[in-house]
Amino acid sequence: MKKMLITLTAAFSFAFLFTNDAKAATTHEVKRGDSLYLIGQEYGVSVHALKEANTKSGNMIMVGETLSIPESISVEEMDLLARLVRAEAVGEPYAGKVAVATVVLNRVDHKDFPNTITEVIQEVTPSGHYAFTPYMNGEINQAADEESIRAVREALAFNGQGQGSIFFYNPAIATNHWNATRTETVTIGNHVFSK
């Protein structure tokens, strides 16, 4: 009973973190210090989607301007992605956490992977293994920490602007070095990212 109460409390806390007054709005009035990137992080939407929704070709916004905010991913998918980031990148630098979330988002947009965050995270590879170890070993069931949640929001804002990484691995602990045959995009902490 105590464990269930803790789990429910964590779930409600997480929902609160992702569901704020700003998230409920469909518009945003630009304030001093705002940028499309910061607004994207606040609402969990990409800068590209913000530009598209507001027919902008550049990044310029004006104080007092009202921007339409496009829909973002669901609270459930944000939670799942943040839990994956925590499990995959615990002990890694913040930029590595953002990069792990970005890999999942890049896979959603890539023709060779499933079309939703949930399907990407739960994907079984042709060799019969889960694409992400934390999904297989249950680590994904641990609650996300604040930094992982923030990293997901940043990855959502950044979506579509990176180097196209769709894989990552830790060469020090990897048992399969197939990823080493891919084109490396960046190394952050202990992870090598590739496409």
CATH of the domain at 177: 1.10.10.2520
53 and 94 within one domain? no
Q: Which residue among 68, 86, 115 closes a domain?
A: 68
127 and 41 within one domain? no
Q: Please give the chain's pLDDT, 195 residues, in tens.
A: 444 334 334 444 444 444 443 444 589 999 999 999 999 989 989 898 999 999 999 999 999 999 999 988 899 999 999 999 999 999 999 999 999 999 999 999 999 999 999 999 999 988 888 999 999 899 999 999 999 999 999 999 888 677 789 999 888 887 776 777 788 899 899 999 999
86 and 54 within one domain? no
Rounded CA-CA distance 194/148 in Å is 21
122 and 61 within one domain? no
Rounded CA-CA distance 81/152 in Å is 7
189 and 143 within one domain? yes
Rounded CA-CA distance 40/158 in Å is 8
Rounded CA-CA distance 69/81 in Å is 21
48 and 133 within one domain? no
Look-up: residue for tokens 């804002």? 157
Q: Which residue among 68, 93, 123 closes a domain?
A: 68
Per the structure, the count of domains in the chain is: 2
96 and 163 within one domain? yes
Give the Cα-Cα-Cα angle 187, 190, 195 (nearest 5 degrees). Answer: 40
- Helix, strand or coil, per DSSP, at residue 67: strand
92 and 187 within one domain? yes
93 and 63 within one domain? no
111 and 59 within one domain? no
119 and 93 within one domain? yes
| Full domain range(s) for residue 155 | 75-194
pLDDT in the model for residue 151: 95
Whether the pTM exceeds 0.85: the reply is no
